A and B are shown apart, each in its own frame.
Chain A
Amino acid sequence: MLASWKSYLSMDVTPGEAGSQLWATVYIIAIVLGISLAVIAMNWLERKILAHMQVRLGPMRVGPHGLLQPLADALKLLIKEDIIPANADKLVFWSAPVVVTMTAFITFLVVPFGRTHAVTDMNIGVLFMLGLSSLGVLGIIMAGWSSNSHYPLIGSLRSSAQMVSYEVAMGLAIVCAVLLTSLPTGTGTLSMIGIVEAQNAQRTWFVFKFFPLGFLAFMVFAIAMIAETNRAPFDLPEAESELVAGFHTEYSGFRWSLFFLAEYSAMLAVSSIAVTLWLGGWLRPFANTLGGPGWDLAFSLVPGLSFLAMAAGCFLGAMRMPKIVQMRAQALGLGAFGALLALLGLVLLASGVRQRVQDIFWFVAKVACFMYLYIWYRGTFPRYRFDQLMRVGWKVLLPLGLGVLIATAIVGARQELGAAIMRVVR
């Protein structure tokens, strides 16, 4: 019993590959908790960042600087009345949020937070995640149809048509990246860990490979993934001024929170795909140009130092609170939160923890950049009209994706041909 717990420290593959059910279960629980925490954090971050972009403050009352606002939202959603429309198809109405949430969570089975920090490594990892996104589309169709109401039906049809259209562009961009994994050895791989290992072996992130081809493929995927998750500027199917709330109009309370959870989990999942395929996954920045033990040490201190910087920000905010009695609780709360972050930062600075955790930190930092970009786009771009949206998906991204694929294949084959000729000459 103790041996299986201690075997964790000597594992150099993922728990799924090692066949260890115990650690796979632990990882699954950790990932589910982590996604829930990330969705809660995204809720707060979205409201605060959008507010600051619009020169206002956002939630400030519920906790210090609105930090407890997501908990208040969750509580409100849990205690709301559960209304089902008349003549709604009860079984399908009940199961639509379940389908969408389950597919969004299951995609995280193959997301690699580090070489050993994934639940398992399937040899069809990327295809698995794409397939689950496709199943999520079915959940949206079920939701819209079973509500027995006009706005949800139109919203779900538009939403699913948009998602299916942009899945084609996403697929082409993914094929470009998978093609790049086959360059040195002649055998590519669809597994997520294999793709990051290929970037490590080729000493370059795929976004910089064969510049600008890798970058163009990355941009095609980055645009398609925003349309895939129905976020601004592609959020016509669920914008309030257009279709009330699209396919989740008739869902209230807990059911709506499941859709919300699924949407943000899907955002995290496609950002994970983008980070794994193009941005080097868990590899630290400048692994080649700034290599060597000194730089390795410096970069491994970054997680702890970043948490300490966040803690310092919290203490600064606590000191700047108004010095009146009513704000004392908030100041103390913010100080306590800052102390928690500082403790976490100190734990991350410890030497043994640094080695295991820095992969996870870099992966999460890159995904967090994508989340910030999602919020930035929402605060900046006007919405696409639906026919413009479909035009962009089919007439712009699809030809661009095909062109990048052909160009990547030609340049890659030329490189391989040149290398083979060099070997023969020598």
Chain B
Amino acid sequence: MSPVATPVFFYGLSITAIVFAVAVITRRNAVHAALSLIGTLVSLAGLYLMLYAPFVAAVQIVLYAGGIMVLFLFVIMLVNLDQNLRQIQFNRQWVVGLIAALALGGLLLFVIRQGKEIFPLAYSAALPEAANTQQIGIALYGHYMLAFEIASLLLLVAMVGAVVMAKKRI
């Protein structure tokens, strides 16, 4: 199937992602910030779809928006943040912050404009999307097996640590 209205979807999803991301850092209410982050993640999933990677898009929604953000919301709700809402927020380092943000933004722009050779695995966008799941499976369990095992070991350590810290008697 040929793609339809690509600029509309790309600009729409990008603008949505940026607006929600700005909302994450400007909302005073922590739950509103978490919900805006969910909006960003769903827009990113749409962008993954446009890059012919449906599996990555679906996994982004299942794991990130549907799992990790649920965890975020649990923690926010169980930690009562009402009094923080009423306090006045202030920040005295905004000049340094502005300089640092401008420097980082300049660096990012420079890399995007000049640095195409940094990414060696440049697949063309004509990869058929039906093969996305298979390609990821073959890559993950073939070439990147060591990284996969190390990542699962890391998750195991995190799980064991959480259980140990939550138990009353070890």
Contacts and interface: CB of A to CB of B under 8 A. Distances in A.
13 contacts: A19-B1, A92-B35, A123-B132, A124-B133, A127-B55, A127-B59, A131-B62, A132-B61, A138-B69, A145-B73, A160-B74, A164-B70, A190-B55
Interface of A: 17, 19, 89, 92, 122-124, 127-128, 130-135, 137-138, 141-142, 145, 153, 157, 160-161, 164, 167, 187, 190
Interface string B38-67: 100010000000000011001101100111
Given A134-B70, A135-B42, A190-B133, 12 more contacts: A123-B130, A124-B55, A130-B58, A134-B61, A135-B65, A135-B66, A138-B70, A138-B73, A160-B70, A160-B74, A164-B70, A187-B134
Contact of B31 (A130, A131, A145): A145
A157 B65 contact: no
Contacts of A160: 70, 74
B111 interface: no
Q: Looking at B58, B67, B134, which has the most chain A CB atoms within 10 Å of its CB? A: B58
Contacts of B55: 124, 127, 190
Contacts of B61: 131-132, 134-135
Contact of A124 (B58, B66, B73): B58
Contacts of A132: 61
A17 B1 CA distance: 8
Nearest to B78: A157
Interface string B72-103: 01100110000000000000000000000000
B59 A138 contact: no
A131 B66 contact: yes
A24 to B, nearest CB: 12
A132 B29 CA distance: 26
Nearest to B54: A124
B99 to A, nearest CB: 35
B54 A141 contact: no
Interface string B91-120: 000000000000000000000000000000
A178 to B, nearest CB: 10
Contact of B54 (A122, A135, A153): A122
Nearest to A142: B35
A137 B58 contact: no
Contact of A123 (B54, B67, B74): B54
Contacts of A141: 70, 73-74, 77
B74 A137 contact: no
B129 A123 contact: yes
A131 B78 CA distance: 25
Given A123-B130, A141-B70, A131 B58 contact: yes
Contacts of B1: 17, 19
Contacts of A157: 74, 77-78
Nearest to B64: A134
Contacts of B67: 134, 164
A130 B62 contact: yes
A137 B66 contact: yes
B31 A92 contact: yes
Contact of B133 (A123, A135, A153): A123
Nearest to A191: B130
A357 to B, nearest CB: 28
A89 B27 CA distance: 14
Given A19-B1, A127-B55, A134 B133 contact: no
Nearest to B31: A145
B47 to A, nearest CB: 15
Contacts of B77: 141, 145, 153, 157
A130 B73 CA distance: 20
Chain B CB within 10 Å — which of A137, A141, A145, A161 has the most? A141
Contacts of B74: 141, 157, 160-161
Interface string B9-34: 00000000000000000000101100
A128 B129 CA distance: 15
A153 B82 CA distance: 15
Please give me the 5 A-B residue pairs with the lowest Cβ-Cβ distance, nearest first.
A134-B66, A131-B61, A127-B58, A131-B62, A124-B54
Nearest to B58: A127
A164 B134 CA distance: 27
A414 to B, nearest CB: 20
A123 B31 CA distance: 34
B163 to A, nearest CB: 11
B82 to A, nearest CB: 11
A124 B1 CA distance: 15
